[in-house]
Chain A
C-alpha cells in the first residue's frame, strides 16, 4: 500500500465500521440464541442445563459485551435514521455521534450492576 493514502474518514467512517462489526456480532448471537431457546421444546432439564451456562461469570462478561454491542447499534442506528430523514441530520452527524457515545457510556455504567452483579456474586459469594 502506498504511504499516506489510507482513508481516514474520522467520526463518520469509524461509526460505520463499528455499526457493521456490532451488527454482525449481534446477528451471530441471534442464531445461537434461537437455538438455545428451541430447547424448551426438548425438555425443561435440557433448557435449564444450557441456560445455566449463561449464568457463569465468563458468559456473564460476554453478556455485558453483547449489551454493549446492542446499545451502540441501537443508538447509532437512530443516528443513521436521523442523518437520512432529518434535513439537518448530515450537518449534525458528528455531534449526534458524540451524543450516542455519551448516552452509551452512561447506559453501560448503569448496566454494570444488573448485568455483572450475578457474575460477581458467583465469583465472590453474596
Chain B
C-alpha cells in the first residue's frame, strides 16, 4: 500500500486505500431538495410575505387617512356635535372626500381582516375552529366592504 498516492484524494492513510480516483469516480449524489423537471415551479406562493408587506404599506396610508378622519369628525368645528346627515351630505358632495373614505374603508377592512386572520391562526388550535372562524371573518369582511362601497357610490343627498 502506497501512502504517497492517498494524500491527494483527501483520505488519510488511516482510512486505507482511496475508494475513488480519476478513473473510478464517486457516483454523483443529487442534492436532497434539487429541482427536477417534475417539481412544480413553487410549492407554495409568497402570500404570507405579501400579507406582511401589505400590513406595513396600508398601515402608513391609514395613519394619515384615519388620523385625518378623527381630526375632522371629533376635533374640528365642534367635534362630534356637528355630525349629522347634512354634514355627511356636505362632505360627500366632493369627490375628494368620497375617494378618501372609500380608500380608508378598503384599506382598513383588509388591514383589520388580515390582522384578525393572524389572531385566529395563533389562538384557534383545532383546524375546524380555524376554518369556521375564518369563514365568518371573510363573509363579514366582504359584506362590510361591499355595503360601505355601495353607500359611498349611491349616496343621495335628496333622499327625502
Measuring CB to CB, which residues of chain A are less than 8 angstroms from any residue of chain B?
20, 23-24, 26-27, 30-31, 34-35, 37-38, 40-41, 43-45, 47-48, 51, 54-55, 60, 63, 67, 70-71, 74, 77-78, 80-81, 84-85, 111, 114-115, 117-118
Interface contacts beyond A51-B83, A74-B67, A81-B60: sample of 18 additional A-B pairs, CB < 8 Å, sorted by A: A23-B112, A23-B115, A24-B115, A27-B113, A30-B109, A30-B144, A31-B144, A34-B144, A35-B144, A44-B159, A48-B84, A54-B83, A63-B80, A67-B74, A78-B60, A80-B59, A81-B59, A111-B74
* A106, B75: Cα distance in complex, Å: 15
CB-CB under 8 A from A118, the residues of chain B are 78-81
CB distance from B64 to the nearest CB of A (A): 10
CB-CB under 8 A from A71, the residues of chain B are 67
Measuring CB to CB, which residues of chain B are less than 8 angstroms from any residue of chain A?
56, 59-60, 62-63, 66-67, 70, 74-75, 78-81, 83-86, 88-89, 105, 108-109, 112-113, 115-116, 119, 140, 144, 147-148, 150-151, 154-156, 159-160
* A35, B143: Cα distance in complex, Å: 10
Q: Is the interface of B mostly helix, strand, loop or mixed?
A: helix
B115 lies within 8 A of A81 (CB): no
- 22 of the cross-chain contacts (CB-CB < 8 Å) are A20-B115, A20-B119, A26-B112, A30-B109, A31-B144, A34-B109, A41-B150, A41-B155, A41-B159, A43-B159, A44-B86, A44-B159, A51-B84, A54-B83, A70-B70, A74-B59, A74-B62, A74-B63, A77-B63, A85-B56, A114-B74, A118-B78
- How many pairs of residues, A versus B, come closer than 8 Å at their CB atoms? 104
